[in-house]
A and B are shown apart, each in its own frame.
Chain A
Amino acid sequence: MAGGAPGGASKSEIYKGNGPRLLLPAWIFIGVFLVAPVAIMAIYSFLTKEFRGGVIWEFTLAAYDQFFLDRGLFGDEPPSIEWTYIGIFWRSIWQAGLATVLCLLIGFPTAWFIATRDVKERSVWLFLITVPYWVNLLIRTVSMKFLIRDTGPLNELLLALGVIDTPLALVNTNFAVQLGLFYSYLPFMVLPIYAAVERYDFSMSEAAADLYASSWATLRLVILPVVKPGIVAGCILVFVPSLGAFLAPDLLGGAKTFMIGSLIEEQFKGAAGNWPFGAAASMILLTIVMGVLLVHARAQTKGER
């Protein structure tokens, strides 16, 4: 995820003294239009909701209370743990995790295969993998929906071939959401793993083979530890956007079950109109994602030492 120079790699001092000045535009833009908004959203999560959208500037923990505590349909039962929203988050995490595993299972062999071609062939394969990544995500999701709908080409084909008698009901299922997430973010998995494998020194495999390691043992014990940073980067690049995904659940899942993205959207654009709650759910999502990234960063700096 982190690109660019990790502190030490940039020793050049040609424009010494100009650093802060050159960074000012980036600080202003991201500071004013991202950091400040997130801070305001954090404040919103502690405000009182206004009926049908909006906030009243009185501080309260009501939004978080609603998220974590169940006080019954009528709000007067003794509080117990509210599983509704934790459940929505859990399902989102599960879906995103499954999509990540699927992407890894397909993405790793692909990245490996491409990275071990000779240079000319490699760039063609890479080109082929990159094209879909540049195609509009919405269009890709819509295309997938068209392909797998009850009366879509896939079902027509299977019916014509006599593989099935009645169309497979694929759209509006969790499976469809899975497929959508997998399809959306697969290139994110391939590219960083490819970069890691490309740098892999194959004399290490030779050494392992000389010591009578089977090829699978080599893969598991020699190669995987070396290319692990690429795999971890790929997993993060798939997991994080999947977690907050909106298009796949909305278009492929039939808006039937909330995922985090649609739960939050509903608070601002739908009937619920509970802004503080939407802000609180966003804060919780942000905390989870930042937690994952922090653990990753820690592990990385430890590995570098």
Chain B
Amino acid sequence: MKTFLTTSVLALSLATGASAEGKLSLYHWFEYIPQELLDKFAAEYDVEVTMDTFDSNEALLAALKAGKMGSYDLAVPGDYMVKIMGDEGMLDTFEPSELSNFGNIEDRWLDVDFDPGRKSSIPYQWGSTSFSVNKEVYDGPLDSLSLIFEPPAELKGKINVLDTSGETLTLASLYLGIPQCSSDREQLKQLNALVQGAKADWASFGSDVAKDVLVSGDAAAGMIWSGFSAKARAEGAPIEYVFPKEGMIVWMDNVVLLKDAPNRDNALKFMDFLLEPENAAAVTNYAQYTAGVKGVEEFLDPEVANSPESNPPADAKGVFVEACAQDVQEMYDAIWTNLKK
């Protein structure tokens, strides 16, 4: 019995034992970084790269809280989540001198309020969250969040909504014109009533399916990220990404160095690697967002660089999602649970 157990355990550890010099463990958004780029890094530095994926900032935080700290070297949280993770003490710091390409960071992304001075993170890609509409199903004006929250008859029952409270409730707040992280009772009740009323017109909640439902036609409209919408369009969905007059969410994803990273050196090498314009451009060409690195222009596909999703009209308004205090966040969580009950 005992020998059997030991041999099985041994066999298991052998099955996972790696031969490469070093390792690197990433926790990344899904369908975002091209496999070729990971392979390139693995070959250049003789490092075995493993990557797990998540589909919302909240899922990233939950997984790290549930015993995954110390397993990953790098993660890719959005702006407000960098702040939350920093406050939770989940991030390690580095000196700019540890990254030879630190100077490639675009100036406007250097001193950001979610990580002043970029002590734990580097900018990755930025984009927006709004929604897209199938023009074959609905041919009216595409300018307002009302298409999602108070949809016209053509779109009723054919809407997919991102399965994350942060972005969905923020868009709802924008539509109502109420501030984020509000603790005003009337405003919160209004918000609750809006999403409750809209739910009957929504077909599904899903973040990872956001592109597929638009391509397959299972949904005629859906909340989606700018680049993901561009990919859906490239795959044949007859959709248009909307820049609503009420505003949209702007976000920046960042590569952060996690506390207790098992391979800190390789993690810094990878961060440096991602700050090379050519490599940052490779991510942009694949995910169709915009890199926060200088000098990428010459490496970009013209189609991606000029995509309507990445080039909003001059008057488009965007806001960052804010991280709320605990007592306020709990009310938003209650609205969300109430919505899905």
Contacts and interface: CB of A to CB of B under 8 A. Distances in A.
B1 interface: yes
Given A73-B189, A258-B340, A258-B341, A270 B62 contact: yes
Contacts of B329: 51-52
Contacts of B1: 25
Nearest to A88: B341
9 contacts: A74-B331, A150-B217, A150-B218, A151-B216, A171-B218, A255-B206, A256-B199, A270-B59, A271-B165
A56 to B, nearest CB: 13
Interface residues of A, number: 31
A73 B185 CA distance: 9
B10 interface: no
Contact of B333 (A150, A254, A271): A271
A53 B164 contact: no
B253 to A, nearest CB: 18
A159 interface: no
Interface string B165-181: 11000000000000000
B337 interface: yes
Q: Which 5 residue pairs are nearest across A and B when measured between Cβ atoms? A: A254-B204, A53-B65, A271-B58, A255-B205, A51-B326
A73 B335 CA distance: 8
B319 interface: no
Given A73-B185, A73-B331, A255-B204, 18 more contacts: A25-B1, A53-B61, A84-B341, A254-B205, A255-B206, A256-B199, A257-B340, A258-B340, A266-B337, A266-B340, A270-B58, A270-B62, A271-B62, A271-B336, A272-B336, A273-B61, A273-B62, A274-B333
Question: DSSP majority for the A interface?
Answer: loop
B205 A269 contact: no
B178 to A, nearest CB: 15
Contacts of B203: 169, 172, 254, 256
Contacts of A87: 341
A64 to B, nearest CB: 16
A75 B338 CA distance: 14
A169 B157 contact: yes
Contacts of B331: 73-74
A75 B61 CA distance: 25
B218 A151 contact: yes
A300 B288 CA distance: 63
B5 to A, nearest CB: 9
A172 B62 contact: no
Contact of B56 (A85, A271, A273): A271
Contacts of A73: 185, 188-189, 192, 331, 334-335, 338
Interface in A238-289: 254-258, 266, 268-274
Interface size range of chain B in the complex: 35 or more
Contacts of B217: 150-151
Nearest to A84: B341
Contact of B58 (A84, A150, A257, A273): A273
Nearest to A271: B58
Contacts of A53: 61-62, 65-66
A229 interface: no
B204 A271 contact: no
Contacts of B165: 271
B59 A269 contact: yes
B27 to A, nearest CB: 14
B202 interface: yes
Contact of A257 (B59, B330, B335, B341): B341
Given A255-B206, A256-B202, A272 B337 contact: yes
Contacts, number: 95
Interface in A16-33: 25
B217 to A, nearest CB: 5
Contacts of A150: 216-218
Contacts of A269: 59, 62-63, 66
Contact of B88 (A52, A85, A258, A268): A52
A256 B340 contact: yes
A10 B65 CA distance: 49
A266 B164 CA distance: 11
Nearest to B185: A74
A32 B89 CA distance: 32
Nearest to B160: A254
B305 interface: no
A251 to B, nearest CB: 10
B150 interface: no
A54 interface: yes
A25 B341 CA distance: 42
B84 interface: yes
B201 to A, nearest CB: 12
A256 B340 CA distance: 6
A87 to B, nearest CB: 6
A268 B62 CA distance: 6
B163 interface: yes
A301 B234 CA distance: 65
Nearest to B338: A84
A53 B63 CA distance: 9
B272 to A, nearest CB: 31
Contacts of A273: 58, 61-62, 65
A39 to B, nearest CB: 19
Contacts of B166: 271
Contacts of A274: 333
Contacts of A171: 204, 218
Nearest to B1: A25
Contacts of A149: 216, 218
A273 B88 CA distance: 14
